[in-house]
Amino acid sequence: MKEDILKANQSFYKAFANGDHEAMDALWARKHAVSVIHPGWGGLHGRNAVMDSWRRILEGDNNNDIQCEQPIVFLTHDLAYVTCHEVFPNGQLIATNIFIWEDNTWRMVHHQAGPLNQPGNTSGQTSVH
């Protein structure tokens, strides 16, 4: 089961890296409430707001060269979350991705990424998405 959650998580980062809005849209829940907190943004709630934010990010001039590292899966019944590091060419963020079991697949209901303060990294952080 955890392997399926990791695959869903990896699909999220693949859609992000490829700037693929259709793939991103397919990952997010349709029957459950969804939300997102992008670095430097306020919280967005509701599927329309969340998907619009991803459309703007994926179509923007931002560098979508992203890799997910150190993913850890937490699973409780039909809800799971993954914590991981989002690695970009110009820095890292730490993220939480929450998934729910919907229509026989794991679908995202929340994504939040923020600064990762690492030892020796006093320059701070990046806010690339």
Specify if 62 maps to a domain.
yes
Q: What does the pLDDT look like over 18-70, one tens digit per residue?
A: 999 999 999 999 999 999 999 999 999 999 999 999 999 999 776 678 999 99
For range 106-126, the mean pLDDT: 73
Q: What is the pLDDT of residue 119?
A: 46
The whole-model pTM stands at: 0.88
Q: What is the CATH number of the domain that holds 88?
A: 3.10.450.50
DSSP string, 46-59: SHHHHHHHHHHHHH
Count: domains in the chain: 1
Strand ranges (E), 14-127: 35-37, 44-45, 67-76, 79-88, 91-102, 105-115
Burial pattern 9-40, b for ≥16 Cβ within 10 A else e, equals bebbbebbeeeebeebeebbbeeeebbbbbbe
Is 42 among the domain residues? Answer: yes
